[in-house]
Structure formats: structure tokens, C-alpha cells
């Protein structure tokens, strides 16, 4: 096993609001190795994006209170100065977002914005920076890059904007790319193009990618390992094959058996998970999933189950054995 590039240890991100304390991330640990793709899946409000934002130093304190450790190459980013973070962001770690139109500056030409990233980190003249920007835009598949570099973001289609974002994010060859729902706003054929592009760039540059998404299909196709988050906690963490074919947490099992499948003829009915995810202000005591869980017993409402199992497949559930038995009946396996 190689040394992790990033390891997040017992991270808590709590937001203090008038309505109460929002426990967006509540004791989460994960790590990623160089060149690896880690998928983080979860529904809205599961806290899946917040650990990535904290890693980028993009969570403001206050209102947030962050505890735990975020180690990047053994340096704890939570104790790093703003200057240190600034030099790290873009150069070593960068991020792409769901909506490239809000992430790009509407009043600057696209080529200028890519060049700006390079100039922020390197002593380089305007003209060579611009040349590199054009090369990058061409590399991410923007046709006529030299001409398109002089256009504004609104002149780009959604897919082209996301390509431009990727060009900016990868301009300095970072070791880690955080991709937060990178294709959610895109049509499915464009999604396929963008995910294909990310994979090619990852292969040629050895970038590690944290792929944050609600889409179990996108993760299945691209992640080596997957973390399932629920109500600010890690419910399950395993390599992709095991997670999809041998889940040990009732929430993962519930998600997999509730989704409609493109590759299957219509079954009788879908099997939804009853109820709805909790508000992060009022997370249920014990296991946060217990009010919706078919396997829950008395202990589940009292004790938060720890993540147990071999390091390659952890699940936070008191009744993993029963989940394993129920897989076949649920049509998962």
C-alpha cells in the first residue's frame, strides 16, 4: 500500500446557526492514494461535499467549527496559514463544481481565466501563459481553442464550460482533483464526454480524483473505492465491486434496491427506502439511519455503530450479518 496523498481523520464540521448546530460532517475519516479515484456518494444534506470544501479551505470559521485533521502529504491543512493554503490551492489541489457558469467569471474571457491560474502560481509572462492556456483548452477538447479562448463563458455550451473549468483545475498539474457533481448539470451524452475526458487526463497525469456525486451509475463506472455518506457520517466504505455487489449497510442496500435500472426489464415495483433523510440539526440518536431502517432494533436507537470490518470494507451497522442475508431477496448481489 502506498502512502495516502490525503487523509482526513475524525473530521467534524459543525455550523452554528440560530436554529441550532448543523452537524454537516460528524466524525468522518477517509483517505486517497495518488492516482486513485474515490467516489463519495450521498443524498442532499448527507455532508458529502463538505469534507471536500474543508479540504480546500473553503469553509469559513466561524460560522463553522472544524475539528479533526486533514493531512495533505503529512501536512495538517487545518493548521496551515491562509498563505500556505493559497499556494496549495490550484497548484496541488483543485476543485471543479457542478455549475461551471457560476464558477467562471462572466466578465473575463475564458483564455484569460485559465492563464490567470498559471500566473497566480508561476513567474511567467502574459504571452507564454496565454499560450499554455490555449494548449490546455485544446487538450480538454475545446475545438478552435485559439479562437474560443477569446470568448466569454456565456458563449460556451454547458459541456464546453465544464471543459474550461477542467482546463483551469488541471493547469498546474495538481496531485488531487476534487470533482463535486461535475456532470450533474449536463446532458447524459455530454456527461459521457466529460467523464471520459477526466479519465484520460487522470491516466496521462496520474491525478487522484475525489468524485462527489449522488449518481450511483457515475460512481460505478469511475471509482476504485466508494464511500457512502448518510447524515454527516460514513455509512459504508469499500472498493466499488464489493460495495455494489456485497453491501453491508442497510442504507447502501436500500439505495441499490430502490433505483430504477436501465439494464433491467421492469420489475414489479421499486423498493423505496421509507421516510426521508433527517435534518442535520436534528440527527436521530444512535445510528442516524435507524428510523428508516428495516433491520433496526433497540440498540440502534441507543448506540452509534462504529465502522467495523476489514480495512477494505467498513460498515457502520449493528446488524451487518442480517444485511448480508437480505441481499439476495432485495435483488442486490
Partner 1 sequence: MRHQIGTVKAVDGVSFSVDRGQTVALVGESGCGKSTTARTVLRLIEPTAGSVRFDGEELTEASTDRMRTLRREMQIVFQDPYASLNPRMPVRTILTEPFKIHGIDPGERVSELLALVGLAPEHETRYPHEFSGGQRQRVGIARAIALDPKLVVCDEPVSALDVSIQAQVLNLLEDIQDRLGLAYLFIAHDLSVVRHIADRVCVMYLGAIVEEAPTDDLFEAPSHPYTQALISAVPVADPRKERVRTPILLSGDVPSPLNPPSGCRFRTRCPKFAHDLTDAERQRCIDEPPPLVDHGTGHPAACHYAEAVAVL
* Residues that bind partner 1 in the complex, under the rule CB under 8 A: 43-44, 143, 157-160, 187-193, 195-196, 214-218, 220-221, 223, 240-241, 244-245, 254-256, 258-267, 269-274, 276-277
Residue 117 or residue 287: which is nearer to partner 1 going by CB? 287
**Residue with cell string 442496500:** 253
Q: Could you give the CA distance from residue 173 to residue 21 in angstroms, rounded to a whole number?
A: 38
d(CA 282, CA 6): 30
- Cα 280 to chain centroid, rounded: 19
User: 241 or 298, CB closer to partner 1?
Assistant: 241
Between CA 92 and CA 124 the distance in angstroms is 18
Query: Under 8 Å CB-to-CB from 49, ≥6 apart: which residues?
Result: 180, 181, 212
Looking at the Cβ atoms of 66 and 160, the one nearer to partner 1 is 160
Nearer to partner 1 by Cβ, of 8 and 226: the residue is: 226
- Give the nearer residue to partner 1 in terms of CB position, either 131 or 271: 271
Q: In angstroms, what is the minimal distance from the CB of 46 to partner 1?
A: 9
Cis ω for the linkage preceding 62 (within 30 of 0): yes
Q: How far is CA 310 from CA 64, 136, 234, 236, in A?
A: 33, 42, 15, 12
Bridge partners for 76 per DSSP = 71
Q: Among residues 72, 50, 33, which one has the least CA distance to residue 212?
A: 50
Q: Residue 303: helix, strand or coil by DSSP?
A: coil
When the beta carbons of 131 and 141 are compared against partner 1, the nearer one is: 141
Q: Which of 277, 317, 305, 302 is nearest to 48 (CA)?
A: 277
Please say which residue, 247 or 286, places its beta carbon nearer to partner 1: 247
Question: CB of residue 231 vs partner 1: minimum separation in angstroms?
Answer: 12
Strands 233-239 and 225-230: antiparallel
- Residue 131 beta carbon to partner 1: minimum distance, rounded to whole angstroms: 25
Amino acid at each position: 500500500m502506498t502512502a495516502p496523498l490525503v487523509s482526513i481523520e475524525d473530521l467534524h464540521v459543525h455550523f452554528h446557526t440560530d436554529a441550532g448546530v448543523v452537524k454537516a460532517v460528524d466524525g468522518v475519516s477517509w483517505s486517497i492514494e495518488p492516482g486513485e479515484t474515490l467516489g463519495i456518494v450521498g443524498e442532499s444534506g448527507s455532508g458529502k461535499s463538505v469534507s471536500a470544501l474543508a479540504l480546500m479551505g473553503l469553509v469559513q470559521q466561524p460560522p463553522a467549527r472544524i475539528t479533526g485533521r486533514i493531512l495533505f502529504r503529512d501536512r495538517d491543512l487545518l493548521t496551515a496559514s491562509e498563505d500556505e493554503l493559497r499556494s496549495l490551492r490550484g497548484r496541488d489541489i483543485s476543485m471543479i463544481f457542478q455549475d461551471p457558469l457560476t464558477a467562471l467569471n462572466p466578465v473575463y474571457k475564458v483564455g484569460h481565466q485559465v492563464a490567470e491560474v498559471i500566473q497566480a502560481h508561476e513567474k511567467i509572462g502574459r504571452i507564454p501563459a496565454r499560450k499554455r492556456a490555449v494548449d490546455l483548452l485544446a487538450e480538454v477538447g475545446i475545438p478552435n481553442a485559439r479562437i474560443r479562448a477569446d470568448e466569454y463563458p456565456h458563449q460556451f455550451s454547458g459541456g464546453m464550460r465544464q471543459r474550461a473549468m477542467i482546463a483551469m483545475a488541471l493547469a498546474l498539474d495538481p496531485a488531487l482533483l476534487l470533482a463535486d457533481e461535475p456532470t450533474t448539470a449536463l446532458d447524459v451524452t455530454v456527461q459521457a464526454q466529460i467523464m471520459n475526458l477526466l479519465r484520460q487526463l487522470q491516466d496521462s497525469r496520474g491525478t487522484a480524483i475525489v468524485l462527489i456525486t449522488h449518481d450511483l451509475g457515475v460512481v460505478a463506472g469511475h471509482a476504485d473505492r466508494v464511500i457512502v455518506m448518510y447524515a454527516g457520517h460514513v455509512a459504508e466504505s469499500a472498493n466499488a465491486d464489493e460495495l455494489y455487489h456485497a453491501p453491508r449497510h442497510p442504507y447502501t442496500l436500500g439505495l441499490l434496491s430502490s433505483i430504477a435500472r436501465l439494464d433491467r426489464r421492469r420489475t414489479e415495483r421499486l423498493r423505496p427506502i421509507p421516510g426521508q433523510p433527517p435534518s442535520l440539526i436534528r440527527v436521530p440518536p444512535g445510528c442516524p439511519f435507524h428510523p428508516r431502517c428495516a433491520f433496526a432494533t433497540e440498540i440502534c436507537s441507543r448506540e452509534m455503530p462504529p465502522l467495523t470490518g476489514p480495512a477494505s470494507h467498513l460498515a457502520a451497522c449493528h446488524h451487518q450479518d442480517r444485511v448480508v442475508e437480505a441481499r439476495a431477496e432485495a435483488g442486490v448481489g
